[in-house]
Structure 1
Amino acid sequence: MSLLATFTAVRYTPRRAGWGALHMATQRPLLARTPGLRFARLMGSGAGIGFSAVPDPLLWTLFAVWEDEAHWESFRDGSAVMRQYAARGEERYTLRLRPLSAHGRWGGEAPFGEPSLKAAADEPVVVLTRASIRLSRAARFWSRVHPVDETLRGNADLLLTFGVGEVPWLRQATLSVWRSAEAMRAWAYRTPEHAEVVRRTRAEGWYSEELFTRFRLLGTEGTLHGADPLASLGTPDP
């Protein structure tokens, strides 16, 4: 079985912003009946570069894991969920992803199994970091977000990033696209602000659950703010 993950961002106009929230609240039963869909999360987004306490009411997202590409294509081309996005959303942008490695749980599940692959040295890597933040540690977590986000601004190796969440302030995730795995590691391990957050996360038990996953970028579909922000990368081999 060759699992495929997809991350779809739907942008709404200010006049239709309410449709995004309504879709998130009502699409779960539709997703539950979707053939070949192993795992799915509907999420809002934040206005920051990474984790964000300020919501963006115009951007809503769907992260999904499929048994194979054929099931994704069937969903993309014929599902009620995608018809709703097309009818009410201004734009739709999807990343197609192949899981390379995964550590942790999401809602008690391991949505990708236990993949053990490596990215090529010259290919981009997509990273999903997801955490359930303990209520008693939320203030400490959010006090450290801004300094870390500032280290990302202007980073030429960070090609695209989304801050998303299932529950505001408590169940948060980031999905980021890096020029290479080495570039991502250089930032993660050599940036003092981020290293300090990692240390305190472990020492103080900020999270009740977390998941860290790397993906190969298989391709993109659609536009975001009028263009494909990853168009210059082309489409790698699966």
Structure 2
Amino acid sequence: MSKLFSLFFLVIISAGSIQAQSVQEIQDKINECYSSRDYKCAEKEQKKLIKKSKKSPNLARYYSDLGTIQRRLGKNKDALKSYDKAIKLENDRVVFYTNRATLHMQLENYEKGNSDFESAIELDPNNWEIASDYATFKKRQGLLKEALEDFNKLIQKYPEELIFYNNRADTFLRMGDHDAAFKDINFVLEKDPEYQVAIITKGEIYLDLEQTEEACSYFKQAVDKGFDANRISYLLKECK
């Protein structure tokens, strides 16, 4: 009887090991698909992982990861549903709110995006990256004074972070204050002449001033330094 029990116990352990190994294999496959940018494959495998992990403590994260994969595929409605499920399972994870907030930002769902950013900041009030993203979201909504106030606070608190000066320069540009925009962007480029995003921002200031030749010289300079030309194709069109 004891031998039979031992054999039965061994079978259970072996089955559990196979199950665990199967989950690991799926995760490895997801990583392989993602690394090769085969997002359809990654989505398929991620759904398999979720199906096998209904009682896993990682289930919420798996749904969040699925949402991110679906965004890569342009399946934004599906991605929102996946993020919703992640937050429903765990409503105290900052990254779940920021993932959904940035998708709302992309889709111009302003009210919902604001709500998610505020939830994330409430959970992690000292996270400057979230605060910066929220300020950028406000800027996209045309809430320029609010965005400017946020960037001023961030610069005061983190004066070494050049991205805030660049983003404030872009805010000044949208407000029509070219002198203030140049002051910030020149400061950034003095500190880091290789900062490609800042080089592009400086070009945008010149473009807004209708100094196209000067603007294009900065756009082309950024591309020469390695910036993906496809990402600023709308600006490079001005250079024909």
Q: Tell me the TM-score normalized by structure 2.
A: 0.24
Q: Tell me the TM-score normalized by structure 1.
A: 0.24
Whichever structure has more helix as a proportion of its residues is 2
Structure with greater contact order relative to length (CA < 8 Å, sep ≥ 6): 1
